[in-house]
């Protein structure tokens, strides 16, 4: 209600040539053409574009809106941004935000959840194919100029069973692509509510009974109090020993030690990891050299279309903010973390 009144006042003064000017501070690299696009589409708004937090803090005290990639924020910039009414996070994760301060000041938070779904779903399927078609081994043999067909053990992902931890936009897109390979798809979420592209959905509390039935476990969960440490070695023990575990959600879902132990003890056949407890992953970390682990540097969500998709969501939400409506895309409950 407070946000609606504030936005209405901004709109009123714009149309009546009042003194109020909406100041939007961008923190992070944004393509020049998108900067110009925003200026053209919102000519009554004052945009300031910065690329580092030191520079951003100079402008923070006058900012009404802060748009940034979540990992770039710290508590200080929120504290000094005394006029701040809205944080637009240009990524999906909001866990770095000072939730207590934002909640205390009733600051609106939105993000771009869902824009990663195409790239992340393609990543998941490509990695499952990489494991089943032994692509790492084929690249190695190619470099060594070895022609070897006899000892190659290839398999097919078609007709297998997939469990997706997280049934939001990304999880649904993973399940949709899995259907092209005629997979049985199970979804697991907090509510267990049925959603499209899953044969059946379950609550997280039912996870243990599902794990023995599946070939692939794909994790796309956000980082929250409920999801941190959710997966343990005991869960890997429940899986079939040919199962593949893939995590592209958040690194605090499961410890590296438990993953390494599960792979070395043949509780699972392979782990594909795009997220880690510590990023960048240290060069001396044992995950790098583990034969049945595939490591990628948090790239599953990367796409040449990322910024344009993010800005489209921001423009919609800015229109909502200025018109005093309440139909925001991806409005975040900061106490829950999503």
pLDDT in tens, 46-86: 999 999 999 999 999 999 999 998 777 789 999 999 999 99
pLDDT at 321: 96
pLDDT tens digits, residue range 195-217? 999 999 999 999 999 999 999 99
CA–CA gap between residue 133 and residue 155 (Å, rounded): 6
pTM for the structure as a whole = 0.86
CA–CA gap between residue 218 and residue 186 (Å, rounded): 10
C-alpha closest to that of 311 among 6, 35, 21, 5: 35
C-alpha closest to that of 86 among 105, 64, 104: 64
| pLDDT band at residue 337 using 50, 70 and 90 as cut-offs | confident
| pLDDT band at residue 20 using 50, 70 and 90 as cut-offs | low
What are the residue ranges spanned by the domains of the chain? Answer: 2-114+305-323, 117-295
pLDDT tens digits, residue range 133-153? 999 999 999 999 999 888 889
pLDDT at 151: 81
For range 299-317, the mean pLDDT: 96
Q: Does the pLDDT of residue 336 top 90, yes or no?
A: no
pLDDT tens digits, residue range 179-189? 999 999 999 99
For the chain, percent of residues with pLDDT exceeding 90:
83
The encoded tokens of residue 91 equal 């990524």
pLDDT tens digits, residue range 245-278? 999 999 999 999 999 999 999 999 999 999 999 9
Cα dihedral 304, 310, 315, 320 in deg (nearest 10): 160
pLDDT at 19: 41
pLDDT at 238: 98
pLDDT at 95: 73
pLDDT at 96: 73
How does the average pLDDT of the chain come out, rounded?
92
pLDDT at 17: 37
For the domain spanning 2-114+305-323, the CATH number is 3.40.50.720
Which residues share a beta bridge with 184? 161
pLDDT at 4: 53
- Tell how far CA 158 is from the center of its chain: 26
3-state secondary structure 128-180: HHHHHCCHHHHHHHHHCCCCCCCCCCCCCCCCCEEEEECCCHHHHHHHHHHHH
- Token pair 């990663």: residue: 116
pLDDT at 21: 83
For residue 105, give Cα distances in angstroms to 3, 87, 109: 12, 12, 11
Question: 117-295, what's its fold?
Answer: Rossmann fold (3.40.50)
Q: Does the pLDDT of residue 8 top 70, yes or no?
A: no
pLDDT at 12: 45
Q: Does the pLDDT of residue 305 top 80, yes or no?
A: yes
Comparing 114 with 161, the larger pLDDT belongs to 161
Question: Taking a C-beta distance cutoff of 8 angstroms, is the pair 168, 192 a contact?
Answer: no
**117-295 shares the fold of 2-114+305-323:** yes
For range 24-43, the mean pLDDT: 97
């Amino acid at each position: 209600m407070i946000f609606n009144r504030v936005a209405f006042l901004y709109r009123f003064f714009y149309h009546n040539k009042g003194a109020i000017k909406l100041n939007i501070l961008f923190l992070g690299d944004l393509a020049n053409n998108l900067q110009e696009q925003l200026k053209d589409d919102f000519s009554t708004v004052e945009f300031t574009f910065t690329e580092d937090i030191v520079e951003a803090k100079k402008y923070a005290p006058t900012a009404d809106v802060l748009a940034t990639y979540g990992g770039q924020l710290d508590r200080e910039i929120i504290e000094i941004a005394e006029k701040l009414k809205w944080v637009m996070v240009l990524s999906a994760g909001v866990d770095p935000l000072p939730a207590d301060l934002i909640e205390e000041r009733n600051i609106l938070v939105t993000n771009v959840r869902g824009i990663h779904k195409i790239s992340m779903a393609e990543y998941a399927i490509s990695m499952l194919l990489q494991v089943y078609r032994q692509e790492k081994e084929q690249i190695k043999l190619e470099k060594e100029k070895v022609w070897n067909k006899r000892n190659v053990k290839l398999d097919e992902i078609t007709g297998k069973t997939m469990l997706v931890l997280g049934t939001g936009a990304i999880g649904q897109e993973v399940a949709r692509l899995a259907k092209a390979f005629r997979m049985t798809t199970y979804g697991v979420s907090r509510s267990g509510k049925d959603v499209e592209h899953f044969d059946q959905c379950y609550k997280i509390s039912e996870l243990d009974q599902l794990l023995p039935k599946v070939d692939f476990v794909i994790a796309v969960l956000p980082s929250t109090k409920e999801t941190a440490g959710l997966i343990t070695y005991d869960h890997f023990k429940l899986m079939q020993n040919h199962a593949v575990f893939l995590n592209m959600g958040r690194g605090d879902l499961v410890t590296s030690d438990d993953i390494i132990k599960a792979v070395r003890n043949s509780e699972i056949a392979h782990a594909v990891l795009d997220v880690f407890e510590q990023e960048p992953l240290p060069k001396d970390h044992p995950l790098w050299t583990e034969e049945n682990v595939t490591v990628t540097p948090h790239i599953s969500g990367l796409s040449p279309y990322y910024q344009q998709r993010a800005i489209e969501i921001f423009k919609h939400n800015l229109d909502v903010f200025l018109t005093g409506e309440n139909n925001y895309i991806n409005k975040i409950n900061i106490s829950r973390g999503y």
